[in-house]
Amino acid sequence: MAIKPSSTLAANLKSVLSGDSLLPLLRTTPIERISTPASSDAMLEVSMVRLDALCPYLGGNKIFKLWGYLRHYLASGETRPIASFGGAYSNHLHALAYACHFLGVPMVAYVRGERCNDLSPTLADLEALNVVLKFVSRAQYRAKQDAEWRRLQGDYFWVEEGGGGDLGTLGAAELGRFLRSELTYEPGATLSVMLACGTATTLAGVLKGMSGGARENISVVGVSALKNAEHGLVRQVESLLGNVDPLINWRIEGGFHCGGFGRLPDYLADFVQNFETENRIKLDPIYTAKLLFALDTLAAQDVWPGGTKITVVHSGGVQGRRGFQL
């Protein structure tokens, strides 16, 4: 299976990784006006940052969370295989596999669960890219942070699950700087940025990038895709921020998991289909679908005054739709 770069990002990945900033790449990102029924009724001005449109393989927030890891790997002269973790439909593993393929770096993927006779489309892509798949039990997967467990696996350059951690916030901070530069602030105006959360690394990076001066009436809202995880995600954000005070109001909404991680109930599937028909933008069912559902629900509750400008971040992951009936 011959896989070739089909975008500027993929074709020039080494150049992107050697640069000191992702802002030139971000300035090529489409920003489009969108609407949902309740946001229109509430007279909200909603725009979407289309990170999904940057590249079919590396688009979304994954390349931003991988930027710090891959820059460090290349700058330090590493030659070890890169290893990371994820599930059968992991957007993170999918993007990392393509990045390693384009860079000529060997990769090992630790996959939660047993190998099935028929691989998921995501894992089939990984095998086509010559990624070594290692299936581990859920108990072993929970031990993945243990240093001795990792030592016994082999000599690898480890990338945290989902591109999380301090290295993951470096590229996400670039996204925060971009968002801050794009926000048209007028005294008295209400502005909000919304993004989905899995590890909360992107949220922490965005807050870092937007720091450096308080602005009234600006908020950043993370929408958790996981059930009962908001308190842990808040602690994770605070840990990743360290001594950085973003000087911006932020919170994590935990009521829009729609039954749990990876769950797509009928009402959410209907919402996605209606949104896509109206806006002609495909959503991923795990993160961005819940983000837009949260926006619509909160708008119906009059959380924001009319005229509020809301910027939502499409974090990509559309390849994961192949595991759902959409």
Kindly tell me if the per-residue pLDDT of 3 is higher than 70: no
Q: What are the DSSP calls for 69-112, one per residue?
A: HHHHHHHTT--SPEEEEE-TT-HHHHHHHHHHHHHT--EEEEEE
Domain boundaries, the chain: 15-60+169-323, 62-163
pLDDT tens digits for 116-164?
Answer: 888 999 999 999 999 999 999 988 888 888 999 999 999 999 999 999 9
Report if pTM > 0.85.
yes
User: CA–CA separation, 56 vs 52, rounded Å?
Assistant: 7
- The answer to whether domain 15-60+169-323 and domain 62-163 are alike in fold is yes
Kindly tell me if the per-residue pLDDT of 171 is higher than 50: yes
Choices 3.30.70.1050, 3.40.630.10, 3.40.50.1100, 3.40.190.10: CATH for 15-60+169-323: 3.40.50.1100
pLDDT level of residue 1 (50, 70, 90 thresholds): very low
Q: Tell me what the mean pLDDT of segment 84-90 comes to.
A: 93
Task: Give the three-state DSSP class for 18.
Answer: helix
| Phi, psi (deg, nearest 5) at residue 313 | -105, 115
CATH architecture of 62-163: 3-Layer(aba) Sandwich (3.40)
> How many residues make up the chain in this entry?
326
pLDDT at residue 246 in the model? 87
Kindly tell me if the per-residue pLDDT of 236 is higher than 60: yes
Kindly tell me if the per-residue pLDDT of 101 is higher than 90: yes
Kindly tell me if the per-residue pLDDT of 69 is higher than 80: yes
Kindly tell me if the per-residue pLDDT of 318 is higher than 70: yes
